[in-house]
Each structure stands twice: as C-alpha cells, then as structure tokens.
Amino acid sequence: MNLRNEFPHLVSYNRFVELMWICLLPLTVYMMTFRVGKCSGIRFGDSTPLEVCHTRRIHSHRVFAGLAKRGKSSTDWFDGFKLHLIINDQGEILSFYLTPGNVDDRNPEVIERLTKDLFGKLFADKGYLSSKLFRELFGRGITLVTKLKKNMKNVLMDLSDKLLLRKRAIIESVNDFLKNICHIEHSRHRAPINFLVNLIAGLVAYSFLPSRPSLFLSSLALPS
C-alpha cells in the first residue's frame, strides 16, 4: 500500500490471479534460455515433493483432480507433484522436470529429459540406484555415482567421487531455498496453470538470489 502511487494501474488481487496464466510461456522460455547454469561436468540430481493439499483433504481436493497423484517421499506420503532437478557445483539449476507425485525418480523419460545435452558425473541418492540406468547414462557420456545399499557388495570408488558424494546434500539445500525462500510450494492454488506460473516464477527468483548453496571444489582437491 505504501507504493500505491508508484503503480497507479495495479489490478486487484482477483484480477491478478486471472491474468497470471499469460506469464507462463514467457517465464518458461526465459528460465530455460537465460537463467539455467552451465554444466561443469559435476552435477547433483534429486527430486522434491510439491504437496497441493493436506493428506486429510485428498478426496475432497478438486483443483488438481486427475493431475496430482499420491507419492511417497523419504518422510511420508503426499498428494501432488514431484520436481526433478539437476544442479551444478555452484548451486545453479541446469535442468528441471515436473511429474505427478507417483513417478519414479528412475523413470527413463524423466532421466532422458533431465540429462539432455549434459555430460560428466551425476551424483544422486540411493533412489537412483539402477544398473540399467547406469549403463544407459554411461553410454551417453554420463557417470552415475550413488551410495550402495547395505546388502550390496562394495565396489572401488575414486576418493574424489567419495568426497563429492558426501557433498550431495547441496541439492537438499537448494530444495530448501526453493520452498522456504522462493515459495514454490503452497496449498492455495486456484487453478493448475497458476500453480505452474508460481513454480516457474520461483525457479527464476532462485536464479537471482545473491547467495546460493555452492561448493568450493578447491577444498576437495586430492593431494598430489
């Protein structure tokens, strides 16, 4: 209200919500063309749930009927979508993909779209552990590095890969920034397209943050 004189033609809140859909295409093109980071050969991948309603209101929720699906995160069940991300060591978003909440992180279509035009090593959690996925990515010049499950045989791994795998939590910090600072997740959407506008706008806003989670790779250098 203090800046009302600076915006004399500001529309009402309801009208603003009605006009949001116009921004979806320009925002998406802007994000994918100008605000993604550069691939340095070291990347971190993960997915994060985007809840659209409380679990108690799943059966009465109508805004995303037929679109949102129930999925299982590392903490609990949720109803909504999954945002799949790949970032570089500077915390910059390289690629992203949105799916219903019940889509597996190892889904071939998701992985193919996320890793298109990328190279080098991809560090991820155990949810991406798959010999088939490893072979497919390796054939495209991408090495998938994950931790092993307790019942699996140990394999030799470069010390640098072990150190970088311990730094995989950087993408968890990015997800935290996106949700708590850029507010890409909330349960008050009035239409699916407004949900998409809010999501893309949050990704764009994150790319402008002056301070993002990042790694100082020089501190991880191996002794000569």
pLDDT tier at 188, thresholds 50, 70, 90: confident
Amino acid identity for residue 166 in this structure: R
Residue 75: predicted pLDDT:
81
Statement: residue 156 has pLDDT above 70: no
pLDDT in tens, 48-96: 999 998 878 888 888 999 999 999 888 888 999 999 999 999 999 999 9
pLDDT tier at 218, thresholds 50, 70, 90: low
Task: Collapse the DSSP code of 13 into the 3-class scheme (helix H, G, I; strand E, B; otherwise coil) and give the result.
Answer: helix
| Residue that the structure tokens 């994950």 belong to | 146
- Cβ-based burial of 47 (10 A; exposed 0-12, middle 13-18, buried ≥19): buried
With the CA atoms of 7, 13, 18 and 19 taken in that order, what torsion angle do they form, in degrees rounded to the nearest 10? 20
**Cα–Cα distance measured from residue 83 to residue 101, given in angstroms and rounded to the nearest whole number:** 9
Q: Are 71 and 104 in contact (CB under 8 A)?
A: no
pLDDT tier at 185, thresholds 50, 70, 90: very high
Query: Partners of 77 in the beta sheet?
Result: 72
pLDDT in tens, 13-44: 888 888 999 999 999 999 999 999 998 889 99
* Domains within the chain, CATH numbers bracketed: 37-214 (3.30.420.10)
Characterise 104 by phi-psi region: left (phi > 0), alpha (psi -120 to 50), beta (else): beta
Query: Which pair of tokens denotes residue 16?
Result: 């603003």
Alpha-helical regions (H) of the chain: 13-19, 24-34, 108-114, 131-138, 159-166, 170-180, 192-207
Task: Collapse the DSSP code of 132 into the 3-class scheme (helix H, G, I; strand E, B; otherwise coil) and give the result.
Answer: helix
- The whole-model pTM stands at 0.89
Strands 77-88 and 69-72: antiparallel
Query: Which pair of tokens denotes residue 201?
Result: 């706008």
CB atoms closer than 10 angstroms to residue 113: 14
Residue 56: predicted pLDDT:
81
